[in-house]
């Protein structure tokens, strides 16, 4: 399913009332084992203010790999990578980084270590909490991680926040449902572009998503298929997931 003209997604902007339009991209990059040049081209074409990465490099040389990806994508490294067991946050120079925290989650024996990468970013007068995640393939562990995700967003103590990542769950799954009940599922709120995030040619599934807290206005969210500068060839070459791009209007913080 496709919704809306992909060229009509609002650009980053600061509006007259102090609110800001922030473009958030979520992208599983499979440890940069594929065509890194194609990956960087896709990211640049999305013109994101924030990128929530999953499966960033985690082993020897991971810091250099993260820095190289940020540089070639026209962004800066904010947090995550090996310190969050894969989730990573990049941002444009438009963002002012207030604080960051990487969190390793309780691990089930025999399953991969998982974590969250988090940051509080300021765009003008607006503050936004950001959480990048890659949840478990195990249903019970994934559900517990979903509960911890909501707890972590609350603990960030910010008026507005986004959580984005690879959920390893579909909209009819209980973890996806848990998050969609507590937060805005940005695709469902304002669908734009393409819905499904699995690799082109694979069974159609939406397992990657961007969620936003109440008060954030979703202007559009979906896979940027057909967006200027993004070719199907690059999407196929970059990694085994498709990216999710959301444009969000974040209100300014109140001045007392």
197-234 residues labelled b (16+ CB within 10 A) or e (exposed): beeeeeeeebbbbbbbbeebebbbbbbbbebeebeeeb
The confidence score (pLDDT) of residue 4 equals: 56
For residue 79, the surrounding DSSP H or E stretch is strand 76-80
**Domain ranges, ordered by start, for the chain:** 16-250
pTM for this predicted structure? 0.96
- List C-alpha distances in Å: 215 to 22, 23, 220, 256: 14, 16, 15, 19
The confidence score (pLDDT) of residue 227 equals: 96
pLDDT per position as a tens digit, 209-232: 999 999 999 999 999 999 999 999
**Rama region for 18: left / alpha / beta (φ>0; ψ in -120 to 50; rest):** left
The confidence score (pLDDT) of residue 8 equals: 87
The confidence score (pLDDT) of residue 3 equals: 56
Of the candidates 131, 127, 108, 111, which has an alpha carbon nearest to the alpha carbon of residue 54? 131
| pLDDT < 50: residue spans in the chain | 1-2, 256
Q: Which residues contact 250 (CB under 8 A, 6 or more apart)?
A: 19, 20, 21, 22, 123, 126, 128, 160, 216
16-250 CATH, one of 3.60.10.10, 1.10.730.10, 1.20.210.10, 3.90.550.10 = 3.60.10.10
């Amino acid at each position: 399913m496709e919704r809306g003209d992909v060229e009509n997604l609002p650009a980053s902007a600061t509006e007259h009332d102090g609110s800001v339009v922030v473009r958030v991209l979520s992208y599983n990059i499979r440890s940069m084992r594929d065509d890194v040049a194609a990956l960087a081209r896709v990211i640049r074409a999305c013109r994101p203010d924030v990128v929530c990465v999953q499966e960033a490099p985690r082993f020897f040389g991971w810091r250099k790999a993260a820095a190289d990806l940020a540089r070639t994508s026209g962004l800066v490294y904010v947090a995550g990578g090996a310190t969050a067991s894969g989730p990573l946050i990049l941002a444009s120079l438009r963002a002012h980084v207030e604080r960051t925290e990487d969190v390793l989650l309780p691990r089930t024996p025999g399953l991969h270590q998982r974590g969250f990468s988090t940051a509080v970013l300021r765009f003008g007068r607006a503050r936004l909490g950001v959480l990048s995640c890659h949840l478990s393939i195990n249903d019970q562990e994934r559900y517990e991680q979903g509960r911890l995700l909501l707890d972590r967003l609350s603990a960030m103590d910010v008026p507005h926040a986004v959580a984005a990542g690879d959920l390893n769950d579909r909209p009819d799954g209980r973890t996806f449902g848990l998050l969609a009940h507590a937060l805005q599922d940005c695709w469902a709120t304002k669908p734009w572009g393409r819905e499904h995030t699995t690799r082109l040619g694979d069974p159609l599934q939406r397992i990657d998503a961007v969620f936003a807290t109440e008060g954030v206005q979703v202007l559009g969210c979906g896979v940027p298929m057909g967006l200027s500068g993004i070719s199907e060839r690059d999407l196929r070459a970059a990694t085994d997931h498709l990216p999710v791009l959301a444009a969000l209007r974040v209100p300014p913080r109140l001045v007392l």
